[in-house]
Structures are given as structure tokens and as C-alpha cells.
Amino acid sequence: MPPTSLPADRIGYPMTTIDRAGCRHGGPGAEAAAQKISKQTDSTSEVLLEKKGGAGIITLNRPKALNAVNLSMIRQIYPQIKTWEKDPETFLIIIKGTGGKAFCAGGDIRAITDAGKVGNKLAQDFFKEEYTLNNAIGTCKKPYVALIDGITMGGGVGLSVHGHFRVATEKTVFAMPETAIGLFPDVGGGYFLPRLSGKIGYYLALTGFRLKGRDVLKAGIATHFVDSEKLPALEKDLIALKSSSTENIADLLNSYHMKSQADQEKDFVLDEHMDKINSLFSGNSMEEIVKNLKQDGSPFAIKQLETINKMSPTSLKLTLRQLREGASMSLQDVLMMEYRLSQACMRGPDFYEGVRAVLIDRDQSPRWKPAALEEVSDEFVDDCFKPLGSNDLKL
């Protein structure tokens, strides 16, 4: 049996086309980097905000970049959501992407990385404002419907999974691949992932495994599944609703969901491995999880071990603790914790090295520092979780 879906009411929740940044080095290039980013984020066409009937509609409009979200887009979306939330004539909010390939493939990391290398404060601003937007979505009083048609990773997960409804299609590709670039599954991953059935969330976070199509629903990430070609009709019917209560929206989504036959009889992709996932990924430390995988020795366990061995050891340890602590925290507290982790990652070498290896040089051979799990001390991990005082995220 597939895991039970998380409630449509609300869950918390991050990139293959990831794009984020750091602040390690100052220098004469800082001003130039700032000007470059300012120029890049001035365009208002990167996100379209419109009102149709009683629906506020957000359209991510960077199809050539797989709708990767940047700071300019965040700064347009956040105030609009707050405005619609207070508007008595706005009954629901819909968010979608253009281009047919992606809802949103992540955050715009390349620009942020460039800024971080010359000491630009974009890394602080981006993460603070992105997480503030995630919180606004997670606490929005108006029904929020995310049409996650296509690639949905990283920042795209943060724009969707916190809302009331997440509609997957046969084109949906979900993943949290941050440990492969020296980061961690942020944007509320510490809230959403440990609340999935069994240890699925830990497995997805540590390995970056991709879920596709109806499996995104069966894992409990999406609340509904609708054929991609039916989304325009669904959107039209959502806009036409005379009473946009959460119940009415759910009824409409259910009616479309019930009509979809795509892969309906297909078993959940992780079904045959669930017992092993729940057992092997229940370790209290990364060392214990690795030991479990080695001792098991099955083809599945060996494959996961090979995958984990490619990830940043620092990211793996931060991620495991992030999920273990986040399991009993509120979404707001998780986002504040994750901001501290984001700034710790910006101070270290692995994020820059991961982005280089995966996104820039594409040699897929990152040189992690430290290179082994046993070299990442508990004291170092503790430091990454420490409050930042006046620099902490405030929600």
C-alpha cells in the first residue's frame, strides 16, 4: 500500500536547476555583482500577477530557466499574496508555471553563488525573503492551489507544498537534491519531510530520489492528480466558483482527480522497498544509516549507499539533524532554523564546490571538505544550528 497522503489542510516544505548563494569573500567585484543582479531582477515579466473573477493568479514566467525563482520574483509574489489575503473579493490563490516543462525547478542559484564569492549580501536577503514567503504561503487564510505541472524541485517545492492544495500531473517530477550540491532540503523541508509516511522523507532528503507523476501523490506530497491537458479547464472552473470555500475547492479538485486514469493501477514506485527504507533510514546518525546499508547488503541498499557516498558529508549530517528536530517543530520555527543552516552553508566550501561540480563545470566530481562523514564533528554541526542573534530570521 502507498503511504497515506498528508492532509490537504497544510503541510510544510526545496534543486537540479537550483540557484542560491553565499557571502564568503569581499572585494572590488562586489558592486559589479550587485549591479548584475539588480539588472537581472528588474524585469516584472518574470512573474505575472493577475486577478480573474475571485481568483488571484500567480504565473512563474521564466520558461527558459525552468521558472527558477529569483529575488525579484519573491519580492513581487510576497506582497501580492498578503494583499489578496486581505481582499474580500479574492477567494482563492492559484500558482502555476509557463513553458510546459516545469512548475519551478528551484531557486536561481547561479546568480547567488556569483554574488557570494564577492561578498554580496544577496545570500542573506534571498534566503530570508524566500523563507518569509514560504511562511506566508503556509499561513495564508485564503485557499492556495498549486498546479505543479512539470519539474518541481527546491524553491518550487517551497512555493507549492505549504499551501492547501497541490495538484500533480503525469509530467510532475519532484526531488530534493540539495545534498548533492552542499546544501540541505530547505524552504521548510525540515517540517514537511519528516511528516511523510514512515521514513520516506528521510530517504528523499538524503538521496535526492526523484518521484514522478502519480507517485508524487502516493508519497503524500501532492493532494490531487489531474491530467496535464485538463489543467486549463480546471483553472477555468476554479475561477468560476461562486463560493470558494476550502470544501468547494476540494470538491472540484476531487471531481477532476476521479476522472484521471493515468497510472491509476500502477504500484507506488517505492512500495517494494518501504520495509527497507523504514528500517535502514531509521538510524540516529548518518554513521548508523551507512552501517545499516552496508550490513543489509541487498541491491537496493548498495544502490543507496553508492548514492549517499556521492553527497556532501556535511550536508548529510545537517540534513539528518534538520529533519529529526523539525519533526516536532512548527513551520515558523523550522524556517528560522533553516535560515541559520543556510548561512552556515554559505560560510563553508561545500556549497560553492557542489554548484561548480553540478551546475557550472558539470564534471559531477565535487571535492568535499571534509571528505568523510567521520570528519564532520558533532561540535561543528552544533555550531551550524546556533542562533544568529540580531541576524536571525524573524517571522
Q: 259: which residues sit within 8 A by CB, 6+ positions away?
A: 227, 230
Roughly how many angstroms between the first and final C-alpha of the chain, as a whole number?
A: 38
Per-residue pLDDT at 6 exceeds 80: no
Catalytic status, residue 29: no
Catalytic status, residue 178: yes
Per-residue pLDDT at 178 exceeds 80: yes
Q: Which of 104, 106, 107 lies closest to 150 in space, CA to CA?
A: 104
Looking at 27-36, 78-87, 121-130, which range is the least confident one? 27-36
pLDDT of residue 23: 30
Catalytic residue among 22, 97, 116, 155: 155
Mean pLDDT of 25-34: 35
Catalytic status, residue 354: no
pLDDT of residue 262: 80
pLDDT of residue 145: 99
CA distance 247 to 225: 17
Cα atoms in the Cβ-side hemisphere of radius 13 Å centred on 160: 34
Strand partners, 212: 173
pLDDT of residue 252: 97
Mean pLDDT of 209-224: 98
Which structural domains are found in the chain, ordered by start? 30-391 (3.90.226.10)
Per-residue pLDDT at 219 exceeds 90: yes
Mean pLDDT of 350-372: 96
* Tens digits of residue pLDDT in 300-330: 999 999 999 999 999 999 999 999 999 999 9
* Tens digits of residue pLDDT in 242-271: 877 899 999 999 999 999 988 888 899 999
Mean pLDDT of 222-229: 98
**What's the 3-state SS for the chain?**
CCCCCCCCCCCCCCCCCCCCCCCCCCCCCHHHHHHHHHHHCCCHHHEEEEEECCEEEEEECCHHHCCCECHHHHHHHHHHHHHHHHCCCCCEEEEEECCCCEEECCECHHHHHHHHHCCCCHHHHHHHHHHHHHHHHHCCCCCEEEEECCEEECHHHHCCCCCCEEEECCCCEEECCHHHHCCCCCCCHHHHHHHCCCCHHHHHHHHCCCEECHHHHHCCCCCEECCHHHHHHHHHHHHHCCCCCHHHHHHHHHHHHHHCCCCCCCCCCCHHHHHHHHHHCCCCCHHHHHHHHHHHCCHHHHHHHHHHCCCCHHHHHHHHHHHHHHCCCCHHHHHHHHHHHHHHHHHCCHHHHHHHHHHHCCCCCCCCCCCCHHHCCHHHHHHHCCCCHHHCCCC
Please state, for a pLDDT cut of 70, what percent of the chain lies above it: 88
Catalytic residue among 130, 178, 338, 350: 178
- With bands split at pLDDT 50, 70 and 90, how would you rate the model's confidence at 42? very low
- Residue, of 166 and 110, whose pLDDT is higher: 166
pLDDT of residue 5: 43
Q: Are 352 and 117 in contact (CB under 8 A)?
A: yes
Q: Which of 239, 261, 241 lies closest to 251 in space, CA to CA?
A: 241
Catalytic residue among 56, 97, 106, 107: 107
Other residues' Cβ atoms within 10 Å of the Cβ of residue 323: 24
- With bands split at pLDDT 50, 70 and 90, how would you rate the model's confidence at 90? very high
What is the overall mean pLDDT for the chain?
Answer: 89
Cα atoms in the Cβ-side hemisphere of radius 13 Å centred on 341: 32
Mean pLDDT of 41-55: 82
Mean pLDDT of 16-23: 33
The C-alpha angle 337, 339, 344, rounded to 5 degrees, equals 100
pLDDT of residue 44: 54
45-to-9, 59, 88, 146, 259 alpha-carbon distances in Å: 31, 10, 27, 20, 35
Cell 493577475, residue? 50
* Tens digits of residue pLDDT in 91-106: 999 999 999 999 999 9
Mean pLDDT of 8-33: 34
Catalytic residue among 46, 149, 186, 215: 186
